[in-house]
Amino acid sequence: MKSKPRIPRWLPGAFISLVLIGAILYFVDLGEMVNAVRGANYGLLAISFALSFVWMALRAKVWKTLLRDRPSFMDAFFTEGEGYLLNAFLPFRLGELGRAFLISRKAKIPFPEVLPTIVIERVVDLGITAAILLASLPFVVGAEGSGQIGYIVGGIVLFGLVMMYVLARNNKWALDLFHKLSGRWPSLQKFGGGFLESFFAGLGVLTDGWLFLRFLFWMLLNWGVAVAAYYLMIRAYFPDTQFIWTFFALGAVAFGGAIPALPGGVGTADGAITAALTLLTGDESTAFAVALTVRIYNYLNSGVIGGIGLAREGETLGSVYRELMALQTREDKDE
């Protein structure tokens, strides 16, 4: 009996991206968009693009703090850029696994111990995004009631952090339970036990109050730079921009980038910021010009920093992708 053909995992995201790209091109007047680009304030754009490198440096400091300062700053900086570069061109957000793999090799940190730091970073990102969106919603016409979404997301984020904290505090109990349940499968017990020990070691940052406060300080500073850069990009096209617009646009693009899509959130992130600014201004063509500028902003720092990082190590996007696939294959065999 022939097995049913499987739908490729990348297909739903590609379909969503293509539909949104089609919708953008249908509603946007490309001629007006080009005129908006020509009339933009390039001084403000230059400052925002310079801030993109400051943003990446602070993001590296955030990650270095979560990793208990074991990697050097330069290793964390270039590896962070490599991760974002991988996310821009490889499917399934492999950049997150890629940077975990690369920093574990550079700093001699167990791979499973790196993974929780990325999870914590992303969970807190989501919480800040929800807070930013909540702060902006009352100022957006017709958004009454939409705040429930922000509260739901904030509640999920808080619940996730609490559960990770409970696991970190009770890791011995969790390990004992795992060994008890996996006793019938020695290979799974051996692999899973080692993985969980390293994973819980990474979660330990949640139980170190001073370390976690340092992490939050750098994270909030990092987001402050992002807000400033987005404000300048939006104001370069809309001179009468209100500061609160930045919160709404940044929150929208962050959630849009989380939707399944082609690598780099093509279509989803662009559609989110275009829709947000169109709602605020009624000018979809200029809003799309801002979306394209944001994409250049994101590609600039990841391309330069990630490209230099890969070149320093004699790597390419293809070689890292093959190493990640080989790592996944080895883990599947161990299981």
Q: Tens of pLDDT along 114-146?
A: 888 888 888 788 778 877 877 777 666 554 454
Q: Is residue 220 part of a domain?
A: yes
Residue with tokens 């799974």: 188
Residue 212 has pLDDT above 60, yes or no: yes
Number of domains the chain is built from:
1
Contacts of 236 (CB under 8 A, 6+ apart): 40, 41, 42, 44, 45, 48, 293
What average pLDDT does the segment 40-64 reach?
96
pLDDT at position 262 = 75
Which pair of tokens denotes residue 217?
A: 């300080």
Which carries the bigger pLDDT value, residue 90 or residue 153?
A: 90
If pLDDT is split at 50, 70 and 90, which confidence band does 1 have? very low
Assigned domain for 71 exists: yes
Both tokens assigned to 9: 């995992």
Distance CA 185, CA 194 (A): 14
pLDDT of 32 > 90? The answer is yes
For residue 236, being part of any structural domain is answered with yes
Residue 47 falls inside a structural domain: no
Q: Are 117 and 202 in contact (CB under 8 A)?
A: yes
Closest CA to 87 of 261, 328, 275, 280: 261
Range of the domain at 98: 52-334
For residue 172, pLDDT over 90 is answered with no
Quick check: is 217 in a domain?
yes
Judge whether 44 lies within some domain: no
- Would residue 327 count as lying in a domain? yes
Q: Could you tell me the pTM of the whole model?
A: 0.81
| Domain presence at residue 34 | no
